[in-house]
Every structure is written in structure tokens, then in C-alpha cells.
């Protein structure tokens, strides 16, 4: 008796029990970047922020979309250079504070300009 020929593939073995739970793997962009168009990276150079967790060589994730507030770590433009400091903004006084007692805070006199480029929302530190 001729048997009908069925074309197709038959999967062998057991279906993965996790198949119904497939989700996306951890994506660092999701964790570190909320505003892609406004997020830029800088590299920190120097030791003045060591007590606030910013070490020499760390990559800084800087979000320009956030409004800087007192206590934020910021990247700022001072005298044509970029610097990373902590923003002090209390009682009409604005200054940039270091996270290392051997570095004095940066104060600004009339006519001096300091522009905040963005708020440091994370640092990327690699150990090897």
C-alpha cells in the first residue's frame, strides 16, 4: 500500500522550557543612557575628584538634557577647557568643588564665565 509523502521537518528532542520567557539580554545603553541625542562621553584626567568616585581615566557619561542642581557632578567649561567638578549652588553662591581636600574650590568673579555642559550621571571604570 503506498503511503502518502508528507514534506516538512519534524523537530527532535524537547522544546526549550525557556522559549516562552525569551526576553532581551542586559543592555548597558538602557542602564546608562536615557537621552541618546543629549548624552556625550568625556574622559576624566586628574585626581581632584577621587573622593567623589571619579578616578583618573574614568569615562564620564554626561547627560546635557538634565538641569544641573546643587550636589550634581558636572562637566563644565572654564577658560576654554573642560573640567569635572561637583556643583555647589546655595544662597546665590555658585562654585565648583573638588572631591579631594588638596584641591581648592573654583570660584567665579564678575566677568568670568563658567558654562555647565552637562550632568555626569555615571562613570565607567574598567579594572582590566
97 vs 66: CA distance, rounded Å: 19
Residue with cell 542586559: 26
Task: Tell me, yes or no, if 101 is annotated catalytic.
Answer: no
Provide, rounded to whole angstroms, the least separation between the CB of residue 18 and other proteins.
27
Could you say whether residue 34 binds other proteins (CB under 8 A)? no
58 vs 116: CA distance, rounded Å: 19
Could you say whether residue 82 binds other proteins (CB under 8 A)? yes
Beta carbons within 10 angstroms of residue 126's beta carbon: 7
User: Can you give the three-state secondary structure of 82-103, one letter per residue?
Assistant: EEEEEEEEECCEEEEECCCCCC
Nearer to other proteins, 14 or 37 (CB): 37
- What part of residues 45-64 is at the interface with other proteins (CB under 8 A)? 45-50, 54, 56, 59-60, 64
Per DSSP, what are the bridge partners of residue 94? 89
Task: Tell me, yes or no, if 48 is annotated catalytic.
Answer: yes
Nearer to other proteins, 47 or 122 (CB): 47
Q: Rule CB under 8 A: which residues touch other proteins?
A: 35-38, 40-50, 54, 56, 59-60, 64-65, 75, 77, 80-85, 115, 117
Amino acid at each position: 500500500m503506498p503511503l502518502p509523502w508528507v514534506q516538512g521537518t519534524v523537530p527532535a528532542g524537547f522544546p526549550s522550557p525557556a522559549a516562552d520567557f525569551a526576553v532581551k539580554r542586559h543592555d548597558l545603553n538602557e542602564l546608562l543612557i536615557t537621552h541618546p541625542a543629549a548624552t556625550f562621553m568625556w574622559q576624566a584626567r586628574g585626581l581632584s575628584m577621587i573622593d567623589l568616585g571619579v578616578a583618573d581615566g574614568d569615562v564620564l557619561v554626561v547627560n546635557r538634557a538634565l538641569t544641573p542642581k546643587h550636589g550634581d557632578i558636572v562637566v563644565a567649561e572654564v577658560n576654554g577647557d573642560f573640567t569635572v567638578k561637583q556643583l555647589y549652588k546655595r544662597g546665590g553662591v555658585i562654585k565648583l568643588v573638588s572631591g579631594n581636600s588638596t584641591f581648592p574650590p573654583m570660584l567665579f568673579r564678575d566677568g568670568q564665565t563658567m558654562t555647565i555642559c552637562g550632568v555626569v550621571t555615571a562613570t565607567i571604570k574598567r579594572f582590566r
